[in-house]
Amino acid sequence: MKTTQEYLDIINDALLAVSYPVEPADLYDPVKYQLDMGGKRVRPLLALIACDMCGGCVDDVLPAATGIEIFHNFTLLHDDVMDKADIRRGRPTVHKAWSENVAILSGDAMQIISYQMIGRTPADVLKPVFDLFSATALQICEGQQYDMDFEGREDVTEDEYIGMIRLKTAVLLGCALKTGAYVAHAPQETADALYRFGENLGLAFQLQDDYLDVYGEPSKFGKKIGGDILNNKKTYMLISAMRMAEGEEREELARLLNSVSVSPEDKIKGVTSLYTSLGIDRLAMDKIDFYYRNALAEIEGIPGCEPLRLFASELMQRES
Amino acid sequence: MKTTQEYLDIINDALLAVSYPVEPADLYDPVKYQLDMGGKRVRPLLALIACDMCGGCVDDVLPAATGIEIFHNFTLLHDDVMDKADIRRGRPTVHKAWSENVAILSGDAMQIISYQMIGRTPADVLKPVFDLFSATALQICEGQQYDMDFEGREDVTEDEYIGMIRLKTAVLLGCALKTGAYVAHAPQETADALYRFGENLGLAFQLQDDYLDVYGEPSKFGKKIGGDILNNKKTYMLISAMRMAEGEEREELARLLNSVSVSPEDKIKGVTSLYTSLGIDRLAMDKIDFYYRNALAEIEGIPGCEPLRLFASELMQRES
């Protein structure tokens, strides 16, 4: 087994080694730009670790792991168009740096490139890897659609929210791990357990993202604190607050969410202090911990799962 | 061998048989809507005919043929967003009937569904079919990017235009035919010849599309005549006119293309009459005929190619 940094180097090298035609520049430059933005590379890391711990050859899973990371970046690219997001990881988003049309089309190309990488999986396991990837990719689209649907609804429940982030975020972590297991010819029950581990870890990961968006350390978080609050995003935290607030607090929350005269700073400050007085911070941390523990329980007893436990623990200690 | 109508029925049944989840409705309803718009189904027809004439089993190529048609419709869907087109085959485009975000995301889902269909190709030929499909899909993105690039350029040459429509339109016809050949285990040289037949037929087909946009019969063409002229689209016809017009005709063409005070009707009428007096109509028909003959030459001598010749001849006599 290797260290996280060693796996990361392998992945970043593989991403750099993907070769693109030079022309047309406005199709391929944005693809490179999007992949150069960096990121934690959580999904390909999980694929490599899973394959390695199951006794597989890391080189065999590397193309699929790269394809999964390219697909993930494609979804970020198109999501940024749909969300009209201007900044991603401190840089202008593709539709800002080029145009919306360029962002749509280069995203389409990234999706194809990700499938080309999946196609380089060893032939004896290509079929299950391909089928899992396609099913997962479609689930991610479903998750994004639900996310957009929720914007126009006031009555989103906690269960609906968890279902949405399961599709939008968690299943790709599960897919990455299971892909590693498939390539290593691990027993089906191990592959399934790793998938469920990834699914639960993904839920914890996304809930933590929501938490950090409110309570993160501005100098470390990498994006502006309070973005979800400003957008009235129906996160676990807002859904819980809407359910729990009563009397004056309920009125105050409604005023902050609906008033156009509140300044962005006051809105963030006001909603955050409501969250805190309602105990939403504690509630969110408990929920994160719940899914994190669920994740760990899934791999208990799987031989060689220590590096995965370690990686999950590192991930849960992140500040950005 | 079957009649064109019999093949068409098989394809339309297969498109209807693709099953989609019901929810989220705004993800899957637009997919069905886009595929329900109809169309000539040229690409899957070519795949079925090629497979059949090479002695393959039509059922074996049907999933890939369906995937190719779904992919083609995905490109139309996203192209309509990029071109801000309101109407497709007499109905509002997806981004008009729903929203731009819905169109982007449901297009993404269609791309995945097309890959799922490709993935159902018999295992012994899956790899070449999959690789050809991915390479072709990427070329189509390149073609669309060049098409958009050309909008802002006045100096597009005929060769560049032919290169662009080769990527945007012709290669998918070639891909469909070669897929049929692969599934039928035809010799490589037959597969290659069928590909070149499709490529040339695709060029003739697109040039004919450009021709019909100017000289088509309004009651039969299905969309408004003169759309390309109104958009100053750098078609083979406009590129030729810009190259050939001299003196007063050159000035008149420049005036029609650049003036904002000319009414749409006058612009279409003026440019069309310039085309005619420059002999562009004749030139375009010669060019169409050139690629059509090239296509036929590619399959001369291939046993059983008669249905393909017949289909090509029907296609070239279309009025819409």
| pLDDT surpassing 80 at residue A92 | yes
Nearest CA in chain A to B82: A101
At A87 the three-state DSSP class reads: strand
Q: pLDDT tens, B219-243?
A: 777 678 899 999 899 999 999 999 9
Give me chain A's average pLDDT, please: 96
Mutate which of B120, B132, B145 to disrupt the A interface (most A C-beta within 10 Å)? B145
Residue B90, pLDDT score: 87
Q: Look at A112 and B138 and tell me if their CB atoms are within 8 Å.
A: yes
In chain A, residues 244-273 whose CB comes closer than 8 Å to chain B: none
A123 contact residues in B (CB cutoff 8 A): 127
User: Helix count (H) and strand count (E) of chain B?
Assistant: 17, 2
In chain B, residues 122-161 whose CB comes closer than 8 Å to chain A: 123, 126-127, 130-131, 134, 137-138, 141-142, 144-146, 148-149
Which candidate from B101, B109, B115 shows the least CB-CB separation from A148? B101
Residue B221, pLDDT score: 73
Residue B89: count of CB within 10 angstroms of its CB:
14
At B185 the three-state DSSP class reads: coil
Q: What's the ipTM?
A: 0.96
Residue A24 preceded by cis peptide, ω within 30: yes
Residue A222, pLDDT score: 67
CA distances from A134 to A130, A131, B32, B137, B140 (A): 6, 5, 19, 16, 21
Q: How far apart are CA A121 and CA A63, in angstroms?
A: 6
Residue A233 phi, psi dihedral angles, 5° rounding: -65, 130
Residue B224, pLDDT score: 80
| DSSP letter for each residue of A117-154 | HHTTS-HHHHHHHHHHHHHHHHHHHHHHHHHHHHHT-S
Candidates B55, B44, B9; CA nearest to B117 is B44
Residue B220, pLDDT score: 77
Candidates A59, A64, A77, A315; CA nearest to A175 is A64
Q: Percent helix, strand, coil in chain A (nearest 5)?
A: 75, 0, 20
Q: pLDDT tens, A222-256?
A: 678 899 999 899 999 999 999 999 999 999 999 99
Q: pLDDT tens, A21-35?
A: 999 999 999 999 999
| pLDDT surpassing 70 at residue B107 | yes
Which candidate from A82, A115, A149 shows the least CB-CB separation from B115? A115
The residue behind tokens 């990427």 is B138
Query: Any idea of the CA torsion for B94, B95, B98, B101, to the nearest 10 degrees?
Result: 120
| DSSP letter for each residue of B202-235 | HHHHHHHHHHHHHHS-HHHHSS-TTHHHHTT---
A145 contact residues in B (CB cutoff 8 A): 24, 26-27, 102, 105
The residue behind tokens 């401190």 is A90
Q: How far apart are CA B120 and CA B316, in angstroms?
A: 32
At A91 the three-state DSSP class reads: strand
| pLDDT surpassing 80 at residue B55 | yes
A102 contact residues in B (CB cutoff 8 A): 145
Residue B92 phi, psi dihedral angles, 5° rounding: -60, 140
Candidates B53, B70, B74; CA nearest to B7 is B53
The answer, for A81 touching chain B at a CB cutoff of 8 Å, is yes
The residue behind tokens 């963030």 is A268
Residue B152, pLDDT score: 87
The encoded tokens of residue B252 equal: 């008149």
Q: Look at A24 and B149 and tell me if their CB atoms are within 8 Å.
A: yes
B84 contact residues in A (CB cutoff 8 A): none
- Cross-strand bridge partners of residue B226: none
Q: How far apart are CA A270 and CA A187, in angstroms?
A: 51
| Residue A273 confidence class, pLDDT cut points 50, 70, 90 | very high
The encoded tokens of residue B54 equal: 């090479």
The encoded tokens of residue B299 equal: 């399959």
| DSSP letter for each residue of A236-299 | HHHHHHHHH--HHHHHHHHHHHH-SSS-HHHHHHHHHHHHHHHTHHHHHHHHHHHHHHHHHHHH
Candidates B198, B89, B75; CA nearest to B145 is B75
Please compute, for residue B306, the number of CA atoms within 13 A of its CA located in the half-sphere on the CB side. 4
CA distances from A92 to A7, A38, A41, A87, B20 (A): 28, 14, 20, 5, 36
| pLDDT surpassing 90 at residue A218 | no
| Residue A106 confidence class, pLDDT cut points 50, 70, 90 | very high
Residue A123: count of CB within 10 angstroms of its CB:
10
| pLDDT surpassing 80 at residue B129 | yes
Residue B26, pLDDT score: 97
Q: Look at B137 and A105 and tell me if their CB atoms are within 8 Å.
A: no
Q: How far apart are CA A116 and CA B131, in angstroms?
A: 7
When pLDDT is averaged across residues A63-77 and rounded to a whole number, the result is 98
Which candidate from B104, B107, B134 shows the least CB-CB separation from A116? B134
Residue B33: count of CB within 10 angstroms of its CB:
17
- What percent of chain A has a predicted confidence (pLDDT) above 90? 91
When pLDDT is averaged across residues A163-174 and rounded to a whole number, the result is 98
Residue B222, pLDDT score: 67
A116 contact residues in B (CB cutoff 8 A): 131, 134, 138
Candidates B203, B181, B170, B223; CA nearest to B288 is B203
Q: pLDDT tens, B250-295?
A: 999 999 999 889 999 999 999 999 999 999 999 999 999 999 999 9
Give me chain B's average pLDDT, please: 96
Could you tell me if B151 and A136 are in contact, meaning their C-beta atoms sit under 8 angstroms apart? no
Which candidate from B101, B141, B146 shows the least CB-CB separation from A109? B141
Q: How far apart are CA B111 and CA B124, in angstroms?
A: 23
Identify the helix (H) or strand (E) that includes residue B87.
strand B87-88
